């Protein structure tokens, strides 16, 4: 069996690394394709070093350009490699342009695609990431979703629940494993000479840093927050725009703000673990914060990680100066709120996600479920039906007894339930998908 991993940016390298380790441990053959979307030492190679990953087998070297051209060059490059390598499954992770390009290339070649971190939705289609993850999910065959909430997003988009696996998020595996290594090997904290009340800050979302009004609001809030020491590893996109819009110098001159280059994973984990709170618009850092029991303030108006908010560990503050400042002050001064945020339960698992995903892939391969070919049977869709179930029967039993039917969605009164095979259907209403013949 051969697995092809596709990565392109910093968070994909981090979140794929525990999966690559697991695949290596199991002795499975794999190739690693880097699209080259991130290419600076501190945005790419540093993570291969920190995470002890072997160099990619291929690097498409796409670099930075427009969204369309970047995707097109990656699509062409990935297609060529896949035609040559014919892997048994391709894995993409998250929502970057590399994910979309990898997903389209794989599905057009009828090669099976596994989407790690499938099902996340911000419901904001102005974000390039929302389009990327929706397209990736439209092309995928196996869906590794972090939580039940993301699984429910997919069932409402018509994805077959049998292909959805609720596994947690590999960020927890990466974070927990590497924090221990970071505590031994990173000297960032002593180098920076950190005091009390450290606030770690990252921003890079296009909708924040490409918009001068939003970036000014955020800059003004940071300048006002002088009761904390702000450590700000600056993403290259952000640095470029801070300079372009003329905000860079005021931040650099502020005594309570330390602007540094992006740091490696070990250094960043150590920095988070010494921080009082984190202010960010990153996706992965919202997940890491709740994993490390660190209160998170998210500089966005929506999140595809709503579980962190409902768990109580993350607050969305948007980008107005006053709301940002008030919330930072409130969290550091209100002990009760601070404790509640620290104690929020991590919805992303306890660090066994990569093991679960690799087991599912190997089982699917052994059960010959990774072979994609056109059907030679006549299959037609018989329609969608709403039905109240009175019998004492679970999802799996119902589908076995009615083998032309698939339970898509279950309603328990007004609550939506994910159709787990063992979920009892008694007194529940279901949406059933019927076919004219047995479905496999």
Per the rule left: phi > 0, alpha: psi between -120 and 50, beta: everything else, 355 is: alpha
Active site residue 115: no
- Choice between 78 and 285, CB closer to ligand UDP: 285
Residues facing residue 198 across a β-bridge: 229
- Choice between 199 and 370, CB closer to ligand UDP: 199
At its nearest, how many Å lie between ligand UDP and the CB of residue 400? 41
- Choice between 121 and 204, CB closer to ligand UDP: 204
- Choice between 9 and 167, CB closer to ligand UD1: 9
Q: Which of 50, 93, 129, 287 binds ligand UD1 (CB under 6 A)?
A: 129
Q: Quick one: 238 exposed, middle or buried, by C-beta within 10 A (0-12, 13-18, 19+)?
A: buried
Question: How distant, in Å, are the alpha carbons of 79, 178, 180, 345, 358 from that of 312?
Answer: 43, 25, 26, 8, 31
Query: To which residue do tokens 């990736």 refer?
Result: 136
- Choice between 48 and 435, CB closer to ligand UDP: 48
**Binding residues for ligand UD1, how many (CB under 6 A)?**
18
Q: Is 232 in the site for ligand UD1 (CB under 6 A)?
A: no
At its nearest, how many Å lie between ligand UDP and the CB of residue 133? 11
- Could you tell me which of 229, 274, 236, 237 has the C-alpha nearest to residue 255? 229
At its nearest, how many Å lie between ligand UD1 and the CB of residue 356? 24
Q: Is 286 in the site for ligand UD1 (CB under 6 A)?
A: no
Query: To which residue do tokens 């221990």 refer?
Result: 180
- Could you tell me which of 5, 6, 3, 9 has the C-alpha nearest to residue 284? 9
262, interface contact from ligand UD1, ligand UDP, none, CB < 5-8 Å by kind: ligand UDP
CA distance 135 to 98: 12
Q: What angle do CA 411, 153, 309 make, to 5 degrees?
A: 100
At its nearest, how many Å lie between ligand UDP and the CB of residue 421? 32
CB atoms within 10 A of CB 66: 8
Element (H, E) at 295: none
The region of 46-54, 180-188, 233-241, 350-358 touching ligand UD1 under the rule CB under 6 A is: 233-241
Task: Point out which residues bind ligand UDP (CB under 6 A).
Answer: 10-11, 14, 202, 204, 233, 262-263, 265, 268, 282-285, 288
Residues facing residue 435 across a β-bridge: 381
- Choice between 247 and 268, CB closer to ligand UDP: 268
Q: Which residues contact 121 (CB under 8 A, 6 or more apart)?
A: 130, 133, 134, 150, 153, 304
The region of 136-144, 173-181, 192-200, 234-242 touching ligand UD1 under the rule CB under 6 A is: 234-242
Q: Given 204, 235, 274, 420, which residue is catalytic? A: 204
38, interface contact from ligand UD1, ligand UDP, none, CB < 5-8 Å by kind: ligand UD1
Lay out the site mask for ligand UD1 across 15-54 (x = CB under 6 A, - = otherwise): ----------------------xxxx--x-----------
Site for ligand UD1 in 133-152 (CB under 6 A): none
Packing angle of the helix pair 212-224, 321-333 (nearest 10 deg): 30
240, interface contact from ligand UDP, ligand UD1, none, CB < 5-8 Å by kind: ligand UD1
Catalogue the active-site residues. Answer: 204
């Amino acid at each position: 069996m051969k697995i092809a991993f596709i990565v392109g940016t910093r968070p994909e390298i981090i979140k794929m690394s525990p999966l690559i380790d697991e695949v290596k441990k199991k002795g499975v053959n794999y190739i690693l394709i880097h699209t080259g979307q991130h290419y600076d030492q501190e945005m790419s190679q540093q993570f291969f070093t920190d995470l002890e990953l072997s160099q990619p087998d291929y690097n498409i070297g796409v670099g930075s350009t427009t969204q369309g051209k970047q995707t097109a060059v990656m699509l062409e490059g990935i297609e060529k490699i896949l035609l040559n390598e014919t892997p048994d499954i391709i894995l993409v992770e998250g929502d970057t342009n590399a994910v979309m390009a990898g997903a389209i290339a794989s599905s057009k070649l009828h090669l099976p695609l596994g989407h790690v971190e499938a099902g996340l939705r911000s419901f904001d289609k102005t974000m390039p990431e929302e389009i990327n993850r929706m397209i990736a999910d439209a092309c995928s065959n196996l869906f590794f979703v972090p939580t039940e909430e993301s699984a429910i997003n997919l069932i409402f988009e018509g994805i077959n629940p049998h292909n959805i696996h609720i596994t947690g998020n590999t960020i927890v595996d990466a974070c927990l494993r590497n924090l221990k290594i970071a505590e031994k090997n990173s000297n960032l904290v002593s180098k920076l000479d950190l005091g009390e009340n450290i606030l770690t800050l990252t921003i890079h979302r296009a909708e924040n840093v490409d918009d001068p009004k939003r970036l000014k609001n955020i800059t003004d809030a940071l300048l006002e927050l002088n009761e904390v020491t702000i450590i700000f590893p600056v993403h290259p996109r952000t640095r470029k725009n801070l300079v372009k819009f003329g905000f860079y110098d005021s931040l650099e001159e502020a005594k309570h703000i330390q602007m540094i280059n992006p740091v490696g994973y070990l250094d960043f984990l150590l920095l988070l673990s010494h921080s009082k709170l984190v202010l960010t618009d990153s996706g992965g850092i919202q997940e890491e914060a709740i994993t490390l029991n660190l209160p998170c303030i998210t500089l966005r108006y929506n999140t595809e990680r709503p579980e962190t908010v409902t768990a109580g560990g993350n607050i969305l503050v948007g980008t107005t100066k006053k709301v940002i400042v008030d919330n930072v002050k409130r969290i550091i001064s209100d002990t009760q709120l601070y404790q509640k945020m620290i104690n929020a339960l991590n919805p992303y698992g306890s660090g066994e996600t990569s093991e679960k995903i690799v087991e599912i892939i190997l089982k699917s391969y052994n059960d010959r479920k990774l072979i994609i070919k056109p059907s030679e049977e006549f299959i037609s869709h018989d329609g969608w039906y709403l039905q109240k179930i009175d019998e004492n029967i679970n999802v799996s039993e119902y589908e076995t007894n009615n083998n032309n039917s698939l339970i898509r969605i279950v309603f328990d009164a007004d609550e939506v339930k994910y159709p787990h095979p063992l979920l009892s259907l008694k007194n529940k209403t279901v949406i059933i998908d019927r076919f004219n013949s047995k479905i496999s």
